[in-house]
Every structure is written in structure tokens, then in C-alpha cells.
Structure 1
């Protein structure tokens, strides 16, 4: 008969004046109870991170089987998440101390303002794209090999312009 032994470990949370209970298969010699509480906190943060990536960045539903497209979408989501968190840190510093910004609500707020954020960032960096209509007419007249490659366009578009 295959059996496994599990233990319930209680860790006292002095701030809340109660105990947090954890189920583990680790022996008493393999960890300290406070370490176990930290492991569970980190694991919970990872769960919340994946939940945010799935709900706000649609990482659970890729509309492609192309490995390269999936990687690009994954990198774009992770970069967006990093920018979002950095901006949240800035907002938290500037806001009143009693204000709270739950991560999922912040992620939805960031997502709904992403276009405006990119526009403001572009202006701050001195980037002004060519007028859309002219760009569409020009690009539609080019044969495929003459169209700029996305990476080249992005590299040149993100370079700050020198002001004379």
C-alpha cells in the first residue's frame, strides 16, 4: 500500500493575532515553520500573477499555433506587466497613504489606459509618428519586400529625435 504522510503546521501571525495552517509533506527537520509560511506566500503571489496574466492579458487563449507568435505575445504580456507594476509603484508613492490599489483592479485600469500611456510616453521621448493616412497610402503602394520590417520600424521609432 502506497501511503504518504502529511503534517499540518500552524504559524502564529502576531499582527492578526491568529494562526495560519499549512499542509506539508516536509519533515520537521527540512524546514522552519516561518520558512513554510514564506514559501506559501510566494506560491500564492505566483498564483495571483498567473491569474492576472490570464485575465488581463488573455494568456490562456492564444489564437495561433505558431510558436514564434506565441513567444511574442508572451513577451509582450510580461513586458506590459512589468511596466504596469512599475507604474503602480510610482502611483502608490504619489497617492495618499490611505489609498489602496488592489492588483487586479490596477491591472484593469492600466489596460484601459494603455493607449494613452503609450501616446504620452511617445511624446515625452520626442517621438511623433507620421500621419496615419499618409502612412497607409504609402505602405499600401509598396510591394511586400519593400515594406519595412517590424523590428526595423520599431527600432527607429523608439529612438529619440534630436532637436535642432
Structure 2
């Protein structure tokens, strides 16, 4: 298991050699693959969960954990066609596409992950969100999510768990926004409380009072109503704030106005972008996008192993103290990519004197340049193939 944990983005032949310090007695690549095939993915999942619970350190924001919910698609080899991970994407050339969507809960203060893995053919972001919320048993938390996660069911799953939510939705000017059934709203910025009676009934009275009732069709999943109890009172707070001269963001939350003002709501949502940065570190610094297997069970092993390695590295990096210097222009932070390489070599080391890991990491720093913005370029991602892979 330790070899799998320490793997980077090198070819499968090189990983055992690096782990064994290029010993002549290193097992062959095929022997290594046969050995790891005997380990179930659940073993890595148990190790991942156990590590998170045992090493958790309480870092709160106004008394709350900040848990950002988001997903990231991990393309995998499509030569194995199965009912869980493969779909046929239609277009000019219909080709099979295989992937594991990762539905992650990311602690923005502690910088660590929890995850639910789904196959592309079984993708259900809302269902994964419900699972992440329902199984969370830690301290009081704020679940922060982007557009695509908004639903009455999701809101109430968080409420029934005893926690808080802050979810961005399509702006009030969008005809497909969930706010269309919660308005009307004033123009510009606002911070208002909204109440609706959700119901399975569709009578003339309900249709005549859209500012009081909201009809929930059978096609919309809602776990807190049934034929015996067709009514449910829904309450929320809708906040709209300006981000540029002509653009606004709208969020729905159950945070109280006494605890969090509009400015603090905007600040919390901005912090959610820390998860976007973490996905880049997970895929490229840790090496999640460079898998070493085609078999689905072995890929799941590597996903849990990489996410465990990410959490392990962040636990160490968060404890590093950067020496302060006089007359410096910027505040500095640890270079996470360089730290990963140092920590990985430390884990691979067998015997001898341990390297000064903390001192080495403390020397690898980057300036923090607040306020920098870059246009996001979305490109289609493909699997990183085994050929010509050297690291």
C-alpha cells in the first residue's frame, strides 16, 4: 500500500524502482500490479477515513467549519467498457467516454478533502451532495456550493443535519433560476428573508398565490414530503451583492443576519475558490491525473491514495513556520508543489538519517499577490496516456 501512496506521475516501471532506491532486487512491474490487485479499494478508503479522523485539527471561521462542495471529472481509459464508468457521447463521432466524477467536500480552513467517487454513467451530483451532508458528523459547519447544487432538497438536507448552507444560484434575471419561484425581488443589491409553503397539491388556490405556495412536481426529488404529509414550510435568506460595476452574484443561505452580514456572506463565498486551486494541486502536484492502471478497482485505489497524500502533505505544510525577514515586499507562503516532492521522498526513504523535512519545506516559498485575476480557460480534458510519461 505504501508504494501506491508514494506514486507520482512516472511510468509504472519506475515507481517501484524509486520506492526501492533502484535496488536490483526490485520486483517487476507485472509482479507489482499482481500484488496490488489483491488489495481492495475499500482498504484505501478505510485508511483515508481513518487518517482524516485521527489527524483532524480544529480550524474554524466564526465558530464554523467551512466545507466547500464541488466536483471534478477524472477521465480514465475507455478501452474497458462498463456500465458504471462509460457513456457514449454523441456528436460528429460518437465515442465511448469513461471517467470518475469526484464529488468532494473540502475544508477551506484546514485544506483537506473528503470525497465520494461515482462512475460517469452513475453521475449524480445532487445525490453525492446529500451523502456528504448526511454522513458528516463533525462540528457545526457551513456547506458552501456553486451553481448546479441548488435545490430545495439539498437546502433541507443541510437544515435537518443541524448545519448551515451558502449556495450560489443563477441570478434573479435568469428565467431558469430557482429564485423565480421565490421573488419578486428589488433591483440591485438586497438581503431579504423568504418563506414558501412547499406542497404536492396543485389546486386553484395554490396557483393563485405563487408568493405563498410552491408546487413540487413528482419529477422533483424532495425527501421531506409524501402523500400523507403533502405540506412543508421552507425558509431561507436570499442575498444579492455586486462583484463588478454591472454584474451581481446571488446566494441562498440559512445563515442568520445576526451572525453574518451581507459583506461577510460575500467574503465566505469568495473563499470557496480555494477548492478550485486545490483541485489543480491534487491533479498536477500530487499527480492524480497521471493514473497507472486501466482496471477500475486499481484506479479507485489510486484516487483514495492521492487524496490521502494530499491531506497528509497539507497537514505538514500547515505546520511550517516561514522565517520572517525585514523589509520584504510580500507576505510569503509555502510552495505546495515543491513540498509534495520533499514529503514523497521522505516517505520513500528506508533507513539512514531522516532528512530535515520541515527546514527544507520552509525554504520553498512563494509570494502571496492578492487581487490577481486571470480569465478562466475551460478546455476539454482527456486521460493522460501511459506513453512518454516521465517525471
TM-score, structure 1 as length reference = 0.49
TM-score, structure 2 as length reference = 0.23
Q: Higher relative contact order at CA 8 Å, sep ≥6: structure 1 or structure 2? A: 2
Judging by fraction of residues, say which structure has more helix: 1
